[in-house]
Amino acid sequence: MSITIKVPAVGESITEVTIGQWFKNDGDFVEMDEVLCELESDKATFELTAEAAGILHTKADEGDSLEIGAVICEIDPDASEDAPSNAPATENTAPSEPPAESPKQTGEVKEMHVPTVGESITEVTLATWLKEDGDYVALDDIIAEVDSDKATFELPAESSGILRHVAQEGDTLEIGGLICRIEETDGAPTEESHTPAASETSEGKATNNTGKETYASGHASPAAAKILSEKGIDSNAVTGTGKDGRITKEDALKAEASKPAAAATKPATTDKSKQAEQPEAPQKSGMRNSRREKMTSLRKTISRRLVAVKNETAMLTTFNEVNMKPIMDLRKQYKDKFKERYEVNLGFMSFFTKAACIALQEWPAVNAQIDGNEIVYHDFCDVSIAVSSPKGLVVPVIRNAEQLSFAEIEKEVVRLAIKAREGKLTIDEMTGGTFTLTNGGIFGSMMSTPIINAPQAAILGMHNIVERPMAVNGEVKILPMMYLALSYDHRIIDGRESVSFLVRVKELLEIPLAYC
């Protein structure tokens, strides 16, 4: 007995919907929960899923408007997956060549769930599908990128077969949530049988595999239609970049109304003096577009944590300045030999890291953290380095920095910075720091008050180097000076510890030969 599927209720004020696009054809075998078609209301777009597995029999076509509760299709659960299509061949149909063999489905469906990516991570965001719905994927093919609040991970296929998306790009999923299914097959498809579902016509509109334009071609989504209406733009004048040529909201936002025809020439008898008295407003040209982008999980987590630090800590900042001439002279003298011997540049970060480690061991409260009603003191220095990546600020950690040489610190800084820019940092590389260094000076910052990287108790901010007149032994000298800023949690670090720590860092930076 066939199962009747009706248009579901999609909102209190919505009385009818339009079939935007069928993803399955009449006579196709469908799996339970597989997306059958796309329904559009005047407010949003919805997906209709199969309520059972079986042969699909459509009752409405793309573009039809149906009332809520109307029959949209039927599914015959008793029919075999191998049953022939219900479209009979006509007698005068010319015989065609046998189609290329496609991979035979085994009937097994592999469900892929969001894997565990870290102890403290409870949800992830599906950033990008690297394989399209319906594509054939081989075992271990990378099919998607997943963002957590700390890093980006690649999702490999857990079996070979036809990929079926369950989650969409931008969806937030809990650990263990269903992200996709793979309909397992025996072997890979041939080049002839693995044809795309849609192609581009010479006019730029999407067509299906029969060469005909689909309903979606040049059709505006509800949000796009509203924007085009407000702008007074005909949808026929807009090229859609969405699936099958659909006009998306972004297309509508970028669309511009055609410029009005030039004003008719005024008669020669017009009084020039009156024109001078009533000048026309100057014509302004240029774009005034705006755009909205959904916040990534990383950006949302950064926002949440920074606000939490401001609200949950007694944060203060103390300042000092350091004469960078001794370090600059030392680098100038040894940078070529250092690069030749260790194959890495001698930068400022190694000097600051070593100086901070020495000062942290002398003032352990700055290297501690609060855990409930206890203070945890660390005998080691895991120094976090703030790095600006394309997806936001990340803070990888240099483990046991107090035991590393200058060359080892510089190599670790370079390694972590490259992985940060490529989005390949692991959870272990970004957790467990005891103290943080941040260098706003590379962007030209003169002075700032850095925010503590919780649950740490302090962060040292470096700034740009500026030549300033300084009084030295009763004489005025021009020296390269840098402001240092130490933000600290006053619940655990008193003024004595914070100021003494920063003064000690200043002393060490101005006599680098003492610890090089």
Which region holds residue 286: left if phi is over 0, alpha if psi is between -120 and 50, else beta?
Answer: left
Q: Among candidates 353, 337, 340, which has minimal Cα distance to 408?
A: 353
Does residue 28 have an active-site annotation?
Answer: no
Q: What is the largest CA-CA distance in the chain?
A: 109
Looking at residue 197, what is its pLDDT?
A: 44
Q: What is the pLDDT of residue 399?
A: 96
Q: Which of 171, 234, 329, 494 is catalytic?
A: 494
Whole-number pLDDT of residue 466: 95
Enumerate domains of the chain plus CATH numbers.
3-76 (2.40.50.100), 104-186 (2.40.50.100), 198-254 (4.10.320.10), 297-514 (3.30.559.10)
Q: Choosing from 140, 186, 329, 490, which is the catalytic residue?
A: 490
- The residue among 231, 391, 224 whose CA lies nearest residue 301 is 391
DSSP assignment string, 102-165: PPEEEEEEEEEEPPP--TT--EEEEEEESS-TT-EE-TT-EEEEEE-SS-EEEEE-SSSEEEEE
Let me know if 113 is a catalytic residue.
Answer: no
Distance CA 28, CA 467 (A): 75
CA nearest neighbour of 178 among 165, 161, 191, 195: 165
pLDDT tens digits in sequence order for the chain, 516 residues long: 788 888 888 766 677 888 878 888 888 888 888 888 888 776 567 788 888 888 998 998 887 888 888 888 998 887 655 554 444 444 444 444 445 455 667 778 889 998 887 666 788 888 888 899 888 998 888 898 888 776 777 889 998 899 999 998 888 888 888 999 998 887 777 654 444 444 444 344 444 444 445 545 666 765 677 677 777 787 777 777 765 676 776 777 777 755 444 444 444 444 555 555 666 667 666 777 888 887 776 777 778 888 888 888 899 999 999 999 999 999 999 999 999 999 999 999 999 999 999 999 999 999 999 998 999 999 999 999 998 887 778 899 999 999 999 999 999 999 998 988 888 888 889 888 999 999 988 888 999 999 999 899 999 999 999 999 999 999 999 999 999 999 999 999 999 999 999 999 999 999 998 777
State phi, psi for 254 to the nearest 5 degrees: -85, -20
Task: Give the integer Cα–Cα distance in Å for 133 and 138.
Answer: 14
Residue pair 428/408 in contact by the 8 Å Cβ criterion: no
Angle at 35 between CA 142 and CA 12, to 5 degrees: 125
Cα separation, 319 vs 279, in Å, equals 58
Establish how many alpha carbons lie within 13 A of residue 130's alpha carbon, considering only the half-sphere containing its beta carbon.
13
Q: What would the two tokens of residue 385 be?
A: 């380095």
Q: What pLDDT sits at residue 82?
A: 54
CB 329 within 8 A of CB 416: no
Tokens of 144: 């998607």
Strand 435-439 vs strand 458-472: parallel, antiparallel, or unpaired? parallel
pLDDT of residue 337: 93
Return the number of other C-beta atoms located less than 10 Å from residue 299's C-beta: 16
